[in-house]
Amino acid sequence: MNTNEKKIYHPLAITMWDFSWIERNWEGSGYENIDAALDGLVERGYNAVRIDAFPHLMAEDRNREWTLKPVWFSNDWGSPYINKIKLYPAFTAFLGKCRERNIKVALSSWYREDEDNIRMRINSPEKMADNWLTVLDLIRGEGLLDTVLYVDLCNEWPGDLWAPFFTNFPKECTWGYWYTETSMHYMKRAIERIREKYPDIPLCFSFDGLDTKKYASEDLSFFDFIEHHIWMTKLNDNEFYRFVGQDPDGRWNETSYHYLVDNSQKVYQERPEYWKKLLRDGITELARNAEARGMMLATTECWGIVDYKDYPLLPWDWVKDLCRIGVETALSTDRWFIVATSNFTGPQFAGMWNDVSWHKELTALIRSHEIPEDRLDQRLRNTIEYR
């Protein structure tokens, strides 16, 4: 290729396999045959996956068999009850299998709770960073560093479900309150410590926050990009959930799925164009606020509803319709360089996973989209496709 020739960059089509990639290890759980799961991912057109690297447990003892407590019983991410995992060599083996299939791996952590609650030993940003450095050193030592797409130091920071070891100020500022002085200081210190040793790896914390205007007003220049999780159902102060009858603070129980069965179809079908517009407007506003700071976006959890699963009288058609709108709207802004189709793109969600043609259509749309070269700095250019 002529070195002066202009390169055309394309977003990556990503899926979020969280801690399910290793936790859902029983027969019929979806990941018990990881080769088959990855082959299915490639068949559907995805070329990136985001997983939990369990940095706190890897740094404590990568060879230990860990007993994990469930996050929830009702949702199909992870295990619905106590389970045991052994991270090494499964973790690096997973990276190797992804490399064989040209799949990039985004590393994150939900800081899963084990029986000794090791995560509570994270008592400083330096400790968080050092845990991640242990993981990256292991990956480099096994010659797999080129598989790493980016590192998200903590999922949906500083939500107390995932980061109970962190106390914000004020202390009640958890979900969405990444922009406090205490939080900003913590994130910056942790990222700077990792960047000293691994300057070429894109770094961030991911967020689940409704006030996207903060991206325009707060200085996140120590991030390489913004990973923001966005769903129609949470926009306008959880408006959809309020109509359905769910309490947003109590979604993670079986009763919440009963509300979905009873009310979600009626609520959506009464005003489908309203809900679609709400999603489009939310995505457009997010893009506009990121652009105000000159930052690119990645989204790995999105676009329609947050919690869903294969359940009696819960069809997938309206969820897939919203996800299509989300992908199309995000791409139209030219602000996304990593795009998910939903947060249900895993084999445990059969109703969505089995619609292979739907995945192929959306991943082809993502991977064929062109990103203006001047929107990507060198670190991001090195992470995504071009031709």
Dump pLDDT digits (tens) for 160-203: 999 999 999 999 999 999 999 999 999 999 999 999 999 999 99
Reduced to 3 states, what is the DSSP secondary structure of residue 188? helix
Q: What CATH number does domain 9-386 carry, 1.10.10.10, 2.60.40.10, 3.30.470.20, 3.20.20.80?
A: 3.20.20.80
| This prediction's pTM | 0.96
CA pair distance 339, 261, nearest whole angstrom: 29
Using the predicted structure, report yes or no on whether residue 251 has a pLDDT greater than 80. no
Domains of the chain: which residue ranges? 9-386
Mean pLDDT along residues 136-165: 98
68-113 pLDDT, tens per residue? 999 999 999 999 999 999 999 999 999 999 999 999 999 999 999 9
- d(CA 165, CA 154) in angstroms, rounded, equals 11
CA distance 380 to 229: 19
Please say whether the beta carbons of 371 and 337 come within 8 A.
Answer: yes
Structure tokens at 349: 């969600």
Which has the minimum average pLDDT: 19-23, 134-138, 377-381? 377-381
Q: Is 147 helix (H, G, I), strand (E, B) or coil?
A: helix
- Contact predicate 47/340, CB 8 Å: no
